[in-house]
Amino acid sequence: KQGEVLHRYTLGLYEMLEHLTTKYPDILWEGCSGGGGRFDVGFAYYMPQSWTSDNTDAIARLNIQYGTSLFYPTSLMTSHVSAVPNHQTGRITPFDTRGDVAMSGVLGYELDLTQLSPAEKELVKTQVAAYKEIRPLVQYGDFTRLESPFEGNETAWMFTNEDKSEILVFTFGVLNTAQASIHQVKLHGLQSDKIYENVASKEVFTGSELEWMGWYEAPMTEDFVSHRYHFKAMN
């Protein structure tokens, strides 16, 4: 009855999870894509967040989190800032980029804090404070994929609240080139008549402008860059 093995295993695992979550209702359980070989919708009933991959490299995570978002909500994906050189890929990425990728899911840190420089420790404080502000948008807002990491050098995605009065945009560039192009960012699904202010720069746009014209990012000057934009409606 080899054909029944996977089905029986799944039912047995669910039975165990039912017991654990019933007996310990105050524990926030986290699933793992690899450790238990289980990462499905039924699993999410018992564990509302899961570790999507042991690959913590920020650039690899662009593909992992983009692909996972096709089936699962952002609030389910735990994503961590890890050390560099990365343990899986050996890649060295900026702390800000690692933070922006991790803040696009359920933020955490997976590194030895005693090995961080004073400047990096300040960055951790800044990232945690920023994430506390944007967490409702990331974990409970609407997620829109703007540019796929599977199709080009740039990746972009956005989060909006229900009435589109608040927007959070992340953009990522992978490899710099000798003649880097200017990256145009366009948003989707906004209310055209709303007036939005960029929280950091205080620039003002209409929803129609952000959708049809967007804005241009300066050409890349190094590999593995990221940007975070936060807009709030003024009307």
pLDDT tens digits, 102-127: 999 999 999 998 999 999 999 999 99
List every span in the chain annotated with CATH 2.60.40.1180: 142-233
- Given this model, what pLDDT does residue 38 score? 60
Report, as an integer, the average pLDDT of 148-159: 97
Catalytic site residue 40?
yes
User: Given this model, what pLDDT does residue 198 score?
Assistant: 97
Q: What is the pLDDT of residue 168?
A: 98
| 120 in active site | yes
35, 53 contact by CB (below 8 A):
no
Q: What 3-state DSSP class applies to 163?
A: coil
**Residue 139: its pLDDT value, please?**
95
Write the burial class of residue 132 (CB in 10 Å: 0-12 exposed, 13-18 middle, 19+ buried): exposed
pLDDT of amino acid 185: 97
pLDDT of residue 37: 54
pLDDT of residue 9: 87
In which band, very low, low, confident or very high, does the pLDDT at 8 lie, cut at 50, 70 and 90?
Answer: very high
Least confident of 12-16, 38-42, 134-138: 38-42
Concatenate the DSSP letters of all residues of 48-69 into one string: SEEE--S---HHHHHHHHHHHT
| CA neighbours closer than 13 Å in the CB half-sphere of residue 141 | 23
Of all residues in the chain, the percent with pLDDT exceeding 70 is 97
Fold of 142-233: Immunoglobulin-like (2.60.40)
- For residues 231 and 206, the answer to whether their CB atoms sit within 8 Å is no
The 10s digit of each residue's pLDDT in 187-216 is 999 989 999 999 999 999 999 999 999 999
Q: Which of 18, 40, 203, 222 is catalytic?
A: 40
Catalytic-role residue among 18, 120, 133, 142: 120
Give pLDDT, residue 190: 93
User: Which is higher by pLDDT, 127 or 182?
Assistant: 127
Q: In the predicted model, what is the mean pLDDT of residues 206-231?
A: 95
